[in-house]
Amino acid sequence: MDAVLFDRDGTLIEDVPYNGDPSLVRPRPGAALALAALRRRNLPLAVVSNQSGVGTGRITMTQVDDVNRRTEELLGPFSATVVCPHAPDDGCACRKPAPRLVHDAAERLGVDPARCVLVGDIGSDVGAALAAGARAVLVPTAVTRPEELASAPAVAPDLEQAVAMILAGRA
């Protein structure tokens, strides 16, 4: 793999619905160690995140940017952060499970999407990866539905195991 992409909410940080407050950012267990392992291998890392709260007027892009900055303060830098600000009914091409966020992140990183792995916690993350020709690892949380778990091509119990699978070529 040439790059690893991550969903933000529920994967890298605890999911706080429509979070626009950087003080509420809390890394998911193992996130810092998992990212450090990838950085030691000099793999470019990116965040791909649906932020429908912007499109529905619940939060602003400035607030999303503030939360992204806080995420980087706590977990280290990412080579790219790509956000879909559209509401679910907007019909955009970037909202996961559509592939555009993955394509955009790969382009910013200078890699082929087929050489990327996307790590996420729900089916739309997996769907976006597969639609873009990338690989996917599902790290389930309390919101992951059983059918998403059953249909995922690769599943890891936590971020550290997801990274171990990626580095071992099993994802």
Positions marked catalytic:
7, 9
Q: What angle do CA 57, 63, 68 make, to 5 degrees?
A: 130
Q: What is the 3-state secondary structure (H, E, C) of 16-74?
A: CCCCCCHHHCCECCCHHHHHHHHHHCCCCEEEEEECHHHHCCCCCHHHHHHHHHHHHHH
Contact present, 91 and 51 (Cβ < 8 Å):
no
Name the β-bridge partners of 45.
Answer: 4
Two structure tokens written together for 78: 């990412």
Two structure tokens written together for 83: 């956000």
Two structure tokens written together for 115: 């050489």
In this structure, what are the phi and psi dihedrals at residue 118, rounded to the nearest 5 degrees?
Answer: -110, 125
Contact present, 84 and 94 (Cβ < 8 Å):
yes
